[in-house]
């Protein structure tokens, strides 16, 4: 597992960790059952607060991407076999999608430009996952 | 799950025949006296009595355990071979079980004679062990070489290299982390210590010092729980062990001259798994036959075993460059 913290990134550090772990799961670099470092180990290695790492792990656990119990290493959870229901999708990404669409339109993108941008990003992710 | 053996099972025939000989001889000598002498002084005089089946159960139990262990070790050796090499580990079960069977047969013979004096049969045991070793050597020489294709795929690490290069250039903190935590080490770290603690507790009233020793060894084994972890940061490469994260190795990245992929045969090159030494290097691995060989500027060499050696080598090489 590869992680880095970007001081220039306006997002909170825990969000950066969450996103990087998600990307690695999506790419297949991290597979279900793979162990992750302990909260302490990761916080020492990255030189960040223990609670920041713990918060990232809790977010990933709440999103059912990690499993961990007391005294056990955190592990990558089994990937869902069925796509999420539309209610789950709306709850998880609806608000952020709305923000993204608004942002894109304010930047002057047409609906087609935005669709192309999304398709390009999907193709890029597929390429990385190969 | 069907296991396809690379190492032929017929190399264990001498051990199996010795085990059967010991059991068959015992069955032919029935009925055995009850109670039978179980323990003897150096002079061969009995000093403890018990069930006559005790020695048969021990002989058969230990023999079966040795055969299973030998099958596992021989298979591990065969899978690590790049060409036919002499597997001295294969003699292990044949020699020990032949010796055990000799002891069992002479013991049953003594019981049948009703003269309960048992001087240990050193000469016969050595002859039986040597005979079994001779047959085992011939069988090992006859064993054909079979190539084993490792399931570990060679990974494409171009994207990872680009990512690490970008992070290194940006000056951001970085951590690459991977673990080797195979099932056998988890069993070794949980089941065996538990058994040892139970044994220590039961032996406490009779031999307290032995109980303490067994309990300490059990606790030491439990420390392995969690496997070996390799952590690469911008500043150092660290290998840690177990749930307590005991540090086994720490190398400053500025002290490293070279990091390269390395294939090895754990049993042949290092005599097993764990923290290992040979003439060339010090090694840390719990599974697999590939890793990253690190050479320091002082000329010291270290081997870190890895499930993803290409990734680990790429990250270390990029960080030190």
In chain B, the residue whose alpha carbon lies closest to the alpha carbon of A3 is B175
Residue B310 parent element (H or E): helix B309-320
CB B204 within 8 A of CB B260: no
Strand partners, B240: B229, B247
All residues of chain B having their beta carbon less than 8 Å from the beta carbon of residue A73 are: 179, 226
Backbone φ and ψ for B185, nearest 5 degrees, come out as -75, -30
Residue in A38, A42, A73 closest to B175 by CB: A42
Residue in B160, B175, B179 closest to A45 by CB: B175
pLDDT value at residue B129 = 93
B174 Cα to chain A: minimum distance (Å):
4
pLDDT value at residue B151 = 58
B234 Cα to chain A: minimum distance (Å):
9
Q: Is the pLDDT of residue A81 over 80?
A: no
A92 Cα to chain B: minimum distance (Å):
28
CA torsion through residues B27, B31, B36, B42, sign: negative
Lookup: tokens for B189: 């770290």
Confidence label for A83 from pLDDT (cuts 50, 70 and 90): confident
**Mean of pLDDT values over A72-94:** 83
Question: What's the half-sphere exposure (Cβ side, CA atoms, 13 Å) at B170?
Answer: 15
The region, left, alpha or beta by phi > 0 then psi within -120 to 50, assigned to residue B237 is beta
Cβ–Cβ of B177/A42 closer than 8 Å?
yes
Tens of pLDDT along chain B (321 residues) come to: 567 888 899 999 999 999 999 999 999 988 888 888 888 888 889 888 888 888 888 889 999 999 999 998 898 888 888 788 898 888 889 999 999 999 999 999 998 887 888 889 999 999 999 999 999 999 999 999 888 876 555 677 888 888 899 998 988 889 999 999 888 888 888 888 888 888 888 888 778 888 899 889 888 888 888 899 999 999 999 999 988 889 999 999 999 999 999 999 888 899 889 999 999 999 999 998 899 999 999 999 999 999 999 999 999 999 998
> Chain centroid to CA B272: how far?
6
pLDDT value at residue B150 = 65
Pseudo-torsion of CA B276, B282, B285, B286, nearest 10°? 10
In chain A, the residue whose alpha carbon lies closest to the alpha carbon of B155 is A29
Cβ–Cβ of B173/A38 closer than 8 Å?
no
* Inter-chain contacts counted by CB atoms under 8 A, chains A and B: 50
Confidence label for A52 from pLDDT (cuts 50, 70 and 90): very high
All residues of chain A having their beta carbon less than 8 Å from the beta carbon of residue B159 are: 128
**Could you tell me which residues of chain B have a Cβ less than 8 Å from any Cβ in chain A?**
159-160, 163-164, 167, 170, 172-179, 181, 226, 229, 231, 233, 240, 245, 315
**Whole-structure pTM value:** 0.71
From the candidates A2, A27, A38, which should be mutated to test the interface with B, based on the most B CB atoms within 10 A? A2
All residues of chain A having their beta carbon less than 8 Å from the beta carbon of residue B167 are: 4
Residue B46 parent element (H or E): strand B46-50
All residues of chain A having their beta carbon less than 8 Å from the beta carbon of residue B174 are: 2-4
Cβ–Cβ of B172/A5 closer than 8 Å?
yes
Cβ–Cβ of B163/A2 closer than 8 Å?
yes
Q: Is the pLDDT of residue A32 over 70?
A: yes
All residues of chain A having their beta carbon less than 8 Å from the beta carbon of residue B231 are: 37, 41, 45
pLDDT value at residue B6 = 85
List of residues 6+ apart from B224 with CB closer than 8 A: B185, B188, B189, B241, B242
List of residues 6+ apart from B151 with CB closer than 8 A: none
Lowest mean pLDDT among A60-64, A78-82, B29-33, B129-133: A78-82
DSSP A9-45: --S-HHHHHHHHHHHHHHHTSS-TT-B---HHHHHHH
pLDDT value at residue B233 = 93
List of residues 6+ apart from B183 with CB closer than 8 A: none
Cβ–Cβ of A41/B174 closer than 8 Å?
no
């Amino acid at each position: 597992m590869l992680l880095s913290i970007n001081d220039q990134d306006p997002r909170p550090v825990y969000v950066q960790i969450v996103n990087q772990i998600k990307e690695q799961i999506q790419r297949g670099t991290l597979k279900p059952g793979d162990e992750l470092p302990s909260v302490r180990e990761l916080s020492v290695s990255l030189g960040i607060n223990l609670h920041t790492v713990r918060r990232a792990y809790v977010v990933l656990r709440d999103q059912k991407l990690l499993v961990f119990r007391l005294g056990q290493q955190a592990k990558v959870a089994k990937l869902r076999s069925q796509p999420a229901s539309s209610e789950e999708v709306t709850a998880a990404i609806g608000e952020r999608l709305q923000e993204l669409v608004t942002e894109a339109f304010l930047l002057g993108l047409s609906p087609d430009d935005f669709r192309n941008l999304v398709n390009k990003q999907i193709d890029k992710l597929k390429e990385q996952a190969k | 799950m069907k296991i396809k053996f690379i190492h032929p099972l017929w190399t264990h025939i001498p051990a199996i025949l010795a085990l059967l000989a010991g059991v068959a001889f015992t069955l032919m000598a029935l009925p055995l006296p009850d109670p039978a002498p179980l323990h003897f002084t150096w002079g061969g005089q009995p000093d403890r009595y018990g069930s006559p089946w005790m020695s048969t159960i021990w002989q058969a139990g230990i023999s079966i355990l040795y055969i299973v262990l030998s099958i596992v070790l021989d298979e591990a050796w065969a899978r690590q071979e790049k060409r036919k090499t002499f597997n001295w580990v294969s003699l292990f079960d044949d020699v020990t079980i032949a010796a055990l069977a000799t002891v069992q047969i002479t013991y049953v013979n003594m019981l049948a004679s009703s003269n309960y004096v048992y001087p240990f049969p050193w000469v016969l045991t050595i002859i039986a062990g040597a005979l079994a070793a001779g047959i085992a050597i011939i069988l090992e020489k006859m064993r054909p070489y079979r190539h084993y294709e490792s399931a570990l795929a060679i990974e494409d690490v171009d994207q990872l290299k680009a990512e690490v290069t970008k992070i290194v250039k940006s000056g951001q903190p970085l951590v690459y982390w991977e673990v080797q935590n195979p099932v056998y080490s988890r069993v070794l770290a949980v089941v065996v210590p538990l058994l040892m603690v139970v044994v220590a507790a039961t032996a406490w009233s009779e031999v307290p010092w032995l109980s303490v020793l067994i309990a300490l060894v059990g606790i030491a084994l439990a420390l392995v729980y969690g496997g070996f972890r390799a952590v690469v940061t911008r500043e150092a490469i660290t290998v840690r062990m177990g749930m307590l994260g005991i540090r086994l190795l720490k190398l400053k990245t500025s002290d490293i001259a070279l990091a390269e992929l390395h294939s090895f045969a754990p049993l042949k090159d290092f005599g097993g798994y764990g923290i290992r030494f040979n003439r060339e290097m010090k090694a840390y691995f719990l599974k697999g036959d590939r890793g990253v060989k690190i050479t320091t500027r002082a000329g010291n060499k270290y081997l870190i075993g890895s499930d993803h050696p290409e990734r680990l080598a790429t990250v270390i090489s990029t960080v030190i460059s």
